[in-house]
Amino acid sequence: MNFRYVLSGLFAFLFLPSGAGAQSVIEGRVELPKAQGPVVVNMRYSIITKGGVMQPDPPLAIVYLEGSVPKLTTPTTQQMGQKGLAFVPALLAVQVGTKVEFPNLDDTYHNIFSYSPTKRFDLGRYRPDEKPTPSQVFDKAGLVTLHCDIHEHMRALILVLETPYFTKSGTDGRYRLTGIPPGTYTLKAWLNSRTTLERRVEVKSGQNLQLDFP
Amino acid sequence: MNLEDPPRSLPVVSFRLKLFAAIMIVVAAVTALTLYLAEQNAQEEVGRNVEREFRDALTALHEAREVRLTLLAERCRSLAKAVRIRAALEESSAEDLYTNAEIELRGILAGEPEPEPEAAGRTLRAKFFRFLDAQGTVITPGKIVGSGRADGALEAKLGMQGVSNRQEIGYLMVKSENGEETPCEIIATPIVATDTHEVIGAVVIGFPPLELTGPPGMEGLKSGIWVEGRLHLPALSPAAQGFGGAALARVVEQPERAERSLPVQIEGAPHLLLYQRLNPGSRFAAAFEVCLFPLTGSLARQRRFRIQILSAAALLLAGGLAVSHFISGRFSAPVAKLAEDSAANRAQRERAESALEITNQKLSSRNAELQQALADLKATQQHVIQQERLSALGQMASGIAHDFNNALVPILGFSQLLQLDPELLADTERTTRYLGVIQTAAQDAANVVGRLHQFYRVRDENESFAAVDLNRIAQQAIELTQPRWKDQAQSSGSTVEVVAELADLPPVAGDESALREALTNLIFNAVDALPNGGRITIRTRRAGVSAQIEVEDNGTGMSEEVRLRCLEPFYSTKGQRGTGLGLAMVFGMAQRHRGSLQVESELGKGTTFILTLPLHRANDLAIDEVSGVTRSRSLRILVVDDEPNVRELLSAALSADGHEVATAALGEEAFQRFKAGHFDLVVTDKAMPGMSGDQLAALIKKHSPPTPIILLTGFGQFLEKENIPFVDVLIAKPIDLLALRQAVATAHQGV
């Protein structure tokens, strides 16, 4: 269900700004850091902290464009559920102003909180059938670390971005950004809480750019 | 003690003293050893007891501390696990960190109401806390003033060189609100990431240290903490704390030191100080738990015990003194006696030894002398034997001369009497008796000569004796000796009476002349024993298979010594007058006759000689029995002798027997005569000038073997018939006519 939400959201996000006709695609491959643990086959991943650095495991990157990009005009809603005593997804990228709901899909209590300066909140304990679904609006760009007060191992990251042009790479590092209007941007690849790679990119109309990191 | 004899009593006194001293030394040594061991034991025991009590108390305290620490550590761990704290740490949000920590430590932090009232020092309340980041740097709470109640100076002490992944315990001196510094127990607990198990920080919580007080019975036990080079022992004065701290500082610099205790003097009282590292292996500065135990109690106990032991020792020594006094007294009494005895003994022994030594020397010199003397004696003996032989020969010669003279007395006497008074010749009876006496004396004189041989001759076993009438011999002896005992005695003015008491006797076996001579000797001896006159009694009697003849005098008698020695040859009491052979000869005769001579004598009362002789047996042939009977028929006899007297005697005797006799002086002449005429018998002398009797006998036997030859010899005793092969009968000179008659008969019959 949340996949549907995510996909529909993503779909809307990707195709709403279109209309200028000359939209470009940037695709490529990000060199990902080595996996910390065994490769998770079902594509589920978690956020781990190593040396004070939080990163997805298995590694993946969030690739996004910064520059003169349109702000989010209509509030959108994203979801980060708790299922099987884990955040799903454990890494979420949202545009500033997005409301993220934290539905409890487990049979137990969860208490989502964050001490991150980007967004400090504490949802308190809530049951699975808590209505309305506890949510937060992330109105400031930055990285937010989420914890569950009850389940110490649960951790999630929400990367709050200014831009609507962003995508999550596969675990192979491959990414594809579409519907990008022509312009000059900074292409960034977020790898973990401390590492973000970037490069300048000039996108021309209808251009299909092939850009790899590094 | 003998006061009159101090030199002797002194050793005894010293012995007693020595014994006393020795026993006392032994007793004292044993006592001292026992005491020493006992005290050592006791001290060790007390020491062990103290230490055991001490350690027991400490163990109890430590257990309490361990429990508390475990509890605190668990709290710290739970705090370190708190998600929000970890989250705040991850976000490096000091505000969130301390805010959340204040919340989390609500039940721990001091100032909050205690769940149940607890004694001070046993509180589990934290005094302060701080977080460290992964590098060990203190995260300051920043604006949150009062949070954790730690000032900057304290924070500086809390930092660690890298956070360890285990709990660390440390001790710090913390300045409290009133400015007093008190030790503080801090527990640093690492905060670990749940996923990577990475240490992302630490929380350090400070607690007031558990103030250890001794359990009941160990109230004197004081405990404190030694940290940062200082001793914190609230029960002690600051000066004493400083002293103890200095003492410890020296010790704790040697971490390998096994001994964990040291005796110290604190405020003048002995204490046992035990210390133990409170945080072994910790990254915090080393801190030691210090326990002080006053030893005054145990020392007092030891003192009491020592006094007890010493009094026991004193008692023991006193007892030992008494006992040793008693024992030494008891023992020294016999020793005193022994000492006296031994002193006397020693003196005696020394005297005896010196005497012995002298004697020994004397003996050895005497021995040497004796050896010399023995050698001399041996030489002398040889010499004396030689001399004796010569002397004996001379003595014997003089004895023989004496006896011979004795024998000559009647011969000379009677023959002179007859020659002086020719008228007597008409008295045939008297003349015949005189002639008989003369013949007997001459016969004796002849026998005296034979004595030379007889005296030393060993008795011949086969010698046979004739039957002799002892009474007749006795009468003859009395008659023979009459000139001596009657005439000589009378001339010297004394009267000697001779009495014969003769019993009826069978004949004895013996040599008549020897017996007569022996008896004569005994009578002479008796006369010599009667210088002033007296009586000589001659008795004969039968005694079983023997006959006895006694010669008794009532004269001077003999001493025992003389009596025992009187039969020895050459022993004489008569000086030059005696030969010493008379009685010896009698004794030799008695032995030769298988008889015995017994001497009984009493000085002043007289002497009795008893001569015992065996009786004659029937098979002993006696010449006397055949004499006169065997008178052979008339024969033609040739008599050869160079001595005209003998020739005449033989011729007369043989003619008287009815034989026809021819004579010849020499051997050649005789042989001529023998060849010229016919002779039935030849009687010849042995030793003749020219042809000897032996040669003549050989010639005659060669010429006419059956003719018997009788050889006459003056050496008759020294010859055996077998040594002269041609002679049939041997007759010894002087010639007994009866023997001659017998020989003629024997020779003729043998032919």
Element spanning B312, H or E: helix B296-420
Res. B2 pLDDT band, cuts 50 70 90: very low
User: How is residue B516 written in tokens?
Assistant: 């007569």
CB B639 within 8 A of CB B592: no
In whole angstroms, give the CA distance from residue B190 to residue B172.
Answer: 19
pLDDT score of A16 more than 60: no
pLDDT score of B146 more than 60: no
Q: Do A48 and B196 touch (CB under 8 A)?
A: yes
User: How is residue B57 written in tokens?
Assistant: 């108390």
Least confident interval from A20-29, A140-149, A158-167, B465-474: A20-29
B388 touches chain A (CB under 8 A): no
In whole angstroms, give the CA distance from residue B194 to residue B86.
Answer: 9
pLDDT score of A17 more than 70: no
CB A76 within 8 A of CB A188: no
Least confident interval from A40-54, A89-103, B411-425, B438-452: A40-54
Q: Looking at residue B150, what is its pLDDT? A: 63
How close A149 comes to chain B (CA, Å)?
6
Distances (CA, A) of B1 to B226, B323, B328, B344: 77, 21, 15, 16
In whole angstroms, give the CA distance from residue B528 to residue B539.
Answer: 19
CB B661 within 8 A of CB B703: no
Distances (CA, A) of B437 to B401, B404, B410, B475, B656: 20, 15, 7, 12, 22
Q: Do A117 and B195 touch (CB under 8 A)?
A: no
pLDDT score of B608 more than 90: yes
In whole angstroms, give the CA distance from residue B537 to residue B554.
Answer: 9
CB within 8 Å of chain A, chain B residues 624-643: none
Name the average pLDDT for chain B: 76
On the 0-12 / 13-18 / 19+ scale of CB atoms within 10 A, B626 is middle
Q: Looking at residue B211, what is its pLDDT? A: 65
ipTM above 0.85 for this complex: no
Of the ranges A111-115, B130-134, B344-348, B421-425, which is most confident? A111-115
* H helical segments located in B501-565: 512-528, 560-565
Percent of chain A scored above 90 by pLDDT? 10
Q: What global pTM score does this model have?
A: 0.46
Query: What would the pLDDT profile of B278-296 be if each residue is shown by its tens digit?
Result: 777 777 777 887 777 777 7
> Nearest Cα to A84, choosing from A62, A114, A104, A100?
A104
B196 touches chain A (CB under 8 A): yes
Buried b (16+ CB within 10 A) or exposed e, B129-168: bbbbbbebbbbbbeebeebbbbeeebbebbebeebbeebb
Residues from chain A that touch B90, judged by Cβ atoms under 8 A, are: 49, 52, 54, 115, 145
Q: Looking at residue B110, what is its pLDDT? A: 57
Strand A24-29 and strand A174-180: pairing?
A: antiparallel
Residue A140: phi and psi, rounded to 5, are -140, 135
* Nearest-CB residue to B194 (from A54, A116, A152): A152
Q: Do A49 and B90 touch (CB under 8 A)?
A: yes
Q: Do B84 and A54 touch (CB under 8 A)?
A: no
Query: What would the pLDDT profile of B500-535 be if each residue is shown by its tens digit?
Result: 998 888 888 888 878 888 888 888 888 888 888 889
In whole angstroms, give the CA distance from residue B117 to residue B100.
Answer: 26
The alpha carbon dihedral of B523, B529, B532, B537 has a sign of: negative
Q: Do B194 and A153 touch (CB under 8 A)?
A: yes
- Tell me which chain A residue has its CA closest to the CA of residue B86: A152
